[in-house]
Each structure stands twice: as C-alpha cells, then as structure tokens.
Amino acid sequence: MRDLAINIIKENVLGKDLLLELGSEELPAGFIDTSLQALKEAVAGELRAHDITSGEVELYGTPRRLAVIIRAVNEQEPDKKEEHKGPSTKVAFDAEGNPSKALQGFAAGKGVKVSELKKVSNDKGEYMYAMTETKGRPTKDVLPEILKKATSGLNFPKAMRWGDHEVSYARPLHWIVALYGSDVVPFEFGHIKSSSESMGHRFNNNGNKTITIKDASHYLEALDSAGVTVDIATRRELIEKEIKAGAKGCGGELMEDEALLKEVANLVERPVVVVGGFDKEFLNMPKEITVCAMREHQRYFSIVTKDGELLPNFITVANTKAKDMDKVREGNERVLRARLSDANFYFEKDIKVALHERALELKGVTFQYKLGTSFEKVERFTELALFIANKTGVAEAEDKTFSIDEFLGEAKHLKGKEATRYDIGRASVLSKADLVSGVVGEFPKLQGIMGSDYAMREGESKDVARAIAEHYMPIQAGGELPATDLGAIVSIADKMDTIAGCFSVGLIPTGGADPYALRRSSLGIIAIILDKELSKLNMEELTEKAVSLVGEKRTEDEDKTKSAILEFFKERLKNQLLGRGLSFDSIDAVLHVHWYDLPDTVKRVSAIESFKTHPDCGALTAAFKRVSNILKGTEVSGELDASLFSEDEEKKLSEVALKLAPVIEEKFSKGEYEAALTELASIKESIDAFFDKVMVMTDDERVKNNRLRLLSEIRGLYSKIADLSRLTL
C-alpha cells in the first residue's frame, strides 16, 4: 500500500493560450537559444507541477526579447483526492480501544475527524488512513506564482544587476508581457510589472513605441507590424534566401557557414541584407585570413566561385533599413578595409621570419607556470610523438637518442622510415611556432592553419605542413579528425602531454572546471586511435612515457598520477562507447579485464553484444557468475591435479576445458572474439552438471583447492575477452 496515494480528477476543459515575453536590452546571440529552452522548461515544468494540462509550446526570440507561448492551458487545476497513511492500529488505539494521542494528532494534522479515518490492511499489517480532497484552483489564480517563479529561476552564462534593483538578468529588463487568453497575468519581477504592453523595433517603429498585445494569437502579427520578425526560423530562412541571392548577384556562391547564419539570425530583429566589396589586393593573402577577418570581427559572409576561390565581395546583415543603404554599405566597406589592412600587415611581417626561428621564440612563452614554457612542451611532445611512431610502426622501429636540434634548422630530404621519423619530429617542433606570429595573435582561430601555410611557403614537405594544421584536430567533440598518420601522431602527442603534465602537477579537472580542456583532449585521443585503428599503441605504455617526460616538474606521486590518468581515460572511453549505442553491461564486462588496446576493446564489446543473442548466453552467464562468486576473495595457485578428482562431473569439466582452451586461444589470438564466445558456449552443460553434483567448498582442503583451481581455469577461458559474470541478462 502506498504511504500517500493521489487520485487526480481531470476534466476535459478547453484551455486558453498563455504568452510570456521578457523584454530587455540586447542579449548576446549565444544566450538566446539556450535561454529560450530554459524558459520553456521553467514555465511548462511549473504547469506540470500543478497538474495543469496544456498543448503545444512555441518559442520566439530576438536580441531584445525571449517569449514562450503555450497553447490550450487548462483553466482549472484538477481536484485531488489523497490517501495519507497514519499510525498502525496497534499504536492508534489503547487497550480499551480509545484513540491514542498519536492517532488524534494525525487526524488533526490532516484536518479530519478521528471518526472519518479508516482502517486499511496490507502485507505489513493494519494501518489508519486519512482521506482528503483538495479543490483545484482556477489557473488564472495560479499563473502569477508560476510565471514569477519561472522568470526568477532563469540562469544565464553571465547575469547582471542594474540600478538599485535586487533581481538579476542577462541584461537590464524593461518590460514583461504576460497574458492568459486576453487577460493580463499580474506579477512583478523586481521593479517590472507585467502588462500587455510590448516594444517594437528600436529603429523601425517610429521611435520605439509601445504596442499592445491582445492575446497570444495576435502576438506575431502585432510584432511584425511594429518592425520585428520574432520567429527565429523565419528570420533565418529570410536571411539565407537573401544572402544566397546577394552572392549570386556578385557572380558567385555563398560560402556555407551554418554557425554564422545561426548567430546572425540572433543578432537582428528585422534583417536587412547588405552586399559590399573590398580591394582585390587583399586576395593575395591566404584565403583563411580574409575569411576569418570578415567572419570573426565583422560577422560578414564570404562569397566564392564554383571552384571555391574567394571573390572580393562580402555580405552583411543589418538590423534596420536606412534611408540611404549605400552609406551603410560604404561604412561596412570602410571598416572592413581597415581590418583587412591590419591582417595584411601582420601577414607580410610574418612571412619574413622562418618558422624554425619562431619555434625558438616559444622559449619566452609560458605554457603553464608549473610546466614551463611552450618550447619545453614542444620538446616533450616531440619525443612522445617519436615514441608513438615507433610503437605504431609508422617510423623506424629502433629507438634513437632524442635531440630537438635534429629537427631545427633547414629541412632535410631523407627516404623511407627515416624520412617519416624526421617529418614527425619536424612537424612537432614547428607545430606551435605560429602561436608567436602576428596573424595568429590577431586571429587565434587560425592557429595551425597559418603554421601550415607558412610551412608550405618555406618549402616544407606537404606531409609536415598538413600535420601542423591537423595536430589541433579534433577541435570539438565529434569534430573532424586528422586524415594523415603524421597529423594523428602529433595530435595524440600534444594532447597526451597536456594531460600528463596537468595531472602531474595536480591540475585535475573537477565537476565544474576543466580550464585546460583535458576531457576534450582525452576524447580526441580516443577518437583518433579508434579512427586510425592504432592497436599497437598501448594506453598504459603511452601514459607511462608521457608522465616520465614531465620529469622534475612533476609534483605528484608518479604511480598515482599514471593510475589517475588511466582511470580518466577509462571513464571517457566508457562514455564514448555508450554514445555508440553499446550496452553498459557489455562495456563494463570488457573494461573490467583489460582495455589498453582501444580498437581491440571496441571489437570485444561488439562481440559481446552479438553473443547476447546466442540461446545459451543467459544460462552461461549465470554459471560464470557462480564461478566468479566462488572464486571471489580466494587466492588460487599451483597446478591442477587430476588424481584428486572424485566425481565424474569434475573430470568431465576438466576434459572439456582442456580440449577447449587451445581452440579459444587460437580464436582470441586472431581477434575472432565472437567465434571464441560461440565455442565457449559448448561448455555450458558441463558447468551446469558440475554445479549440480560437485561440492566445491568441501572440508578436504586439498580437494577444495583443486576444485577452485579447476574453476580458475574455467574463468581463464573467457577472462581475456571479458568478465562475462558482469553481464546482466
């Protein structure tokens, strides 16, 4: 019986639409989408908490407003009948059958008479219950507290206070529209009182006049007439259509940029597309610089030819239509020319200094004060990259004494794996050199890209240049991975050095802080290793090498640091495999044995997933659980002694295991894990018979230990693949 049973009495009442609009100073574009989702959850969640049914939820937003419309909000809270569990009848009455103080207090607390209580029996005994009924309130009476709570509970990446007001919001709040049907929902947020009065476009509305919203159904129409396109999707479609037409008018095509399109749609209330141009001389710079200058500083869209060549034109989106749009265009062109001139100045200055000279300048740049300079970091991960190359067989197999000077100076022209080794070292040494360049100082997002461009201009090999660009990949979770082996190796080395260095000096990520992006780095390493199928790159060896290279800068215990790093990777691997749709128990079973060979680990998890469909998998798993439980906490040593077998079932199990072991080992060595598990299923009947007839924990120590050795051998048949006892079938 439930301690508290609630029966909600619902009536199908056609509801009214609810509108809440929060108007403020211009919000950052990046706040709008997440804040709208938060507002939706806040209002809809509060309605659910009051058991008020509703229909579809619509979200609208501009830089000056966040709005939610919830259709068909029921006009009444439902009535509730509740059953409250009280004291047991043994406690509720004294020896004469009179109500005890406990029962009287319970009844008073629930607002009922003792005579109105009833006895209810369940499997735990007989208890007294109080039955209460609560009449639902009209929704219009509940909405003020709902909307105030929802508004007050909004969180932003950065919030502010203004004036003498105690409330906080992303930007100063100026108005609140709150309507239920055509009626205002009265509430206050700080100094702002809700009303039906909204504000139109700041410039396209005759001086920012107020407008009256009749109800939710007239909301879009009212704002549109006041110069505001409040629907984000509509603004985005309009912008996309107009900028594509603008690009076509310049004889080219729009350079697709979904992120910029999304951002720009949240920067304006009524988009006006402006097409402009710039001097062709700026096309002599690398395309990436020009595009970045337009995008990052001005939020301009670029135009290219069908072959991807940049055209001397741009498209921007204004927030208002001026009387003379030519002046708007000229103003944007003037600003862009200044930006591109600065970029060109830095570029011309950069190409006068060789990359290997810039690499030496990293000696004056601090990477992290406990871990030294960026040059010291480069030294560490260059050696680590060569270690990885040796382990994976990409470069020469034998070890060589490391010297960073070997990779400085003029580029060398070698052949075979010796050349590959040099290219890996050269790419590593030069990979961070562009950090001290003028262009990257102005446009940080071009790190790696400019290094690659400068490398090609200086005659470096294409492999080295590409590795310099790729070593930052993946830039984000699920992002593009290095396409080349060189880029993959340098990327792993750089990221692994950061992780090993930070853990070695106690800079371990917490739940809310990861300033060195170690989680992203670890996920990147895992993704690259799996993508390149680097089975020879053992995570334990990689971690040990990376930690050792930190050397005297390490402040934490070396063994504890290595263990912490491996556990850190293990958790990231587990989450990544879950993201692939693999079952938790399959992942857990595999990771519980050995997982340092990441591609092999994924292969074993997949084999377990397939094996789960085998008809004997469930029974076999149950048997292996018994094996694990019996062996738990015991130390098994010595050789199995067949002369101690006294039962036919243990003899049979030993014979089957002895015959099966080389077959499974052969399948295992070939990576044929599903086939190995299928072979393992043949032992099911022998294990069942053993447990049915044989007492393992007998009083005879010699026999008991021998039977434990037998079970240990059975466990050894599958323990290389996974701990099958951890499956939950």
Which of 494, 496, 522, 528 is CA-nearest to residue 599? Answer: 528
Average pLDDT over residues 205-218: 85
Give yes or no: residues 552 and 414 share one domain.
Answer: yes
Give yes or no: residues 286 and 340 share one domain.
Answer: yes
Assess if residue 2 is contained within a domain.
no
Residue 584 and residue 42: Cα distance in Å, rounded? 32
Assess if residue 162 is contained within a domain.
yes
Q: What is the 3-state secondary structure (H, E, C) of 121-142?
A: EECCEEEEEEEEEECCCEHHHH
Which of 575, 594, 567 is CA-nearest to residue 527? Answer: 575
Angle between helical axes of 462-470 and 416-430 (0-180°, round to 10): 40
Write down the pLDDT at residue 208.
Answer: 67
Residue 570 and residue 566: Cα distance in Å, rounded? 6
CB 358 within 8 A of CB 436: yes
Residue 429 and residue 557: Cα distance in Å, rounded? 29
Phi/psi region, residue 328 (left: phi>0; alpha: psi -120 to 50; beta: rest), is: alpha
Assess if residue 358 is contained within a domain.
no
Buried b or exposed e, range 622-652, using 16+ CB within 10 angstroms:
bbbbbbbebbeeeeeeeebeeebbeeebbeb
Q: What is the DSSP string of 334-353?
A: HHHHHHHHHHHHHHHHHTTS
Assess if residue 189 is contained within a domain.
yes
For residue 465, is pLDDT > 80?
A: yes
Give yes or no: residues 104 and 196 share one domain.
Answer: no
Q: For residue 74, what pLDDT band results from cuts at 50, 70 and 90? A: very high
Find the length of the chain. Answer: 729
Query: How many CB atoms within 10 Å of residue 490?
Result: 32
CB 143 within 8 A of CB 76: no
Three-class secondary structure of residue 52 per DSSP: coil
Q: CA geometry: angle at 632 spanning 604 and 539, to 5°?
A: 35
Give yes or no: residues 520 and 568 share one domain.
Answer: yes
Give yes or no: residues 458 and 511 share one domain.
Answer: yes
Assess if residue 359 is contained within a domain.
no
Which of 448, 575, 470, 483 is CA-nearest to residue 523? Answer: 575
**Strands 192-195 and 173-180, sheet pairing:** parallel
Of 287-301, 373-387, 409-423, 613-627, the poorest mean pLDDT is in 409-423
Give yes or no: residues 465 and 393 share one domain.
Answer: yes
Average pLDDT over residues 63-70: 96
Percent of the chain with pLDDT over 70: 97
Write down the pLDDT at residue 400.
Answer: 65
Give yes or no: residues 19 and 47 share one domain.
Answer: yes
Write down the pLDDT at residue 510.
Answer: 85
Write down the pLDDT at residue 166.
Answer: 83
Give yes or no: residues 275 and 334 share one domain.
Answer: yes
Q: Which residues contact 580 (CB under 8 A, 6 or more apart)?
A: none
- Average per-residue pLDDT for the chain: 91
Q: For residue 12, what pLDDT band results from cuts at 50, 70 and 90? A: very low
CB 20 within 8 A of CB 178: yes
Give yes or no: residues 36 and 153 share one domain.
Answer: yes
Write down the pLDDT at residue 9.
Answer: 45
Assess if residue 1 is contained within a domain.
no
Domain span at residue 125 reads 85-134
pLDDT 10s digits, 636-646: 888 888 888 88
Give yes or no: residues 401 and 481 share one domain.
Answer: yes
Write down the pLDDT at residue 194.
Answer: 96
Which of 337, 320, 321 is CA-nearest to residue 277? Answer: 337
> Which contiguous run of DSSP H or E holds residue 18?
strand 16-24
pLDDT 10s digits, 307-354: 999 999 999 999 988 889 999 999 999 999 999 999 999 999 999 999
What tokens appear for 470 in the block? 């790729």
Domain count across the chain: 5
Give yes or no: residues 716 and 573 share one domain.
Answer: no
DSSP character at residue 76: B
Q: Which of 581, 603, 629 marks a domain boundary?
A: 581
Residue 236 and residue 240: Cα distance in Å, rounded? 6
Give yes or no: residues 472 and 547 share one domain.
Answer: yes
Q: Which of 98, 113, 134 marks a domain boundary?
A: 134
Residue 324 and residue 553: Cα distance in Å, rounded? 63
The CATH number assigned to the domain holding 651 equals 1.10.730.10
Residue 221 and residue 219: Cα distance in Å, rounded? 6
Residue 666 and residue 99: Cα distance in Å, rounded? 77
Three-class secondary structure of residue 180 per DSSP: strand
Selected residue with higher pLDDT from 692 and 186: 186
For residue 420, is pLDDT > 70?
A: yes
Residue tagged 């502010």 (tokens) = 160
In this structure, what are the phi and psi dihedrals at residue 526, rounded to the nearest 5 degrees?
-60, -45
Q: Which of 225, 240, 257 marks a domain boundary?
A: 225
Assess if residue 698 is contained within a domain.
yes
Write down the pLDDT at residue 543.
Answer: 97
Which residues lie across from 199 on neighbouring strands? 210
pLDDT 10s digits, 533-579: 998 999 999 999 999 999 999 999 999 999 999 999 999 999 999 99
Q: What is the DSSP string of 591-617?
A: HTT--SSHHHHHHHHHHHHHHTTSTTH
CB 683 within 8 A of CB 714: yes
For residue 372, is pLDDT > 80?
A: yes
Which of 153, 178, 218 is CA-nearest to residue 18? Answer: 178
CB 100 within 8 A of CB 91: yes
CB 177 within 8 A of CB 196: yes
Assess if residue 286 is contained within a domain.
yes
